């Protein structure tokens, strides 16, 4: 049970780091674009990119 907690805690820490990296990247590389588009457009674009990355990674498994 303790191992599950440690794994869960490690996963949380890794996700936290990845989230911060994504925030920094968006802020410093795409802030001009983000200022020009509505929130729903920015979120839709993010979802499309996320989906395209997951489709590619699932194809690599086969």
Using DSSP, state whether 1 is helix, strand or coil.
Answer: coil
Q: What is the pLDDT of residue 62?
A: 45
Mean pLDDT over all residues of the chain?
Answer: 88
The per-residue pLDDT for range 29-56, each reduced to its tens digit, is 999 999 999 999 999 999 999 999 998 6
Calculate what percentage of the chain has a pLDDT beyond 70. 84
Is the CB of residue 26 less than 8 Å from the CB of residue 34? yes
Domain parsing of the chain, residue ranges: 2-60
**Rounded-to-integer distance, Cα 30 and Cα 23, Å:** 10
38: phi then psi, degrees, rounded to nearest 5: -65, 160
């Amino acid at each position: 049970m303790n191992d599950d907690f440690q794994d869960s805690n490690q996963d949380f820490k890794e996700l936290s780091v990845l989230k911060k990296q994504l925030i920094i990247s968006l802020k410093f590389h795409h802030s001009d674009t983000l200022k020009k588009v509505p929130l729903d457009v920015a979120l839709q674009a993010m979802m499309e990119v996320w989906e395209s990355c997951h489709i590619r990674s699932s194809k690599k498994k086969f």
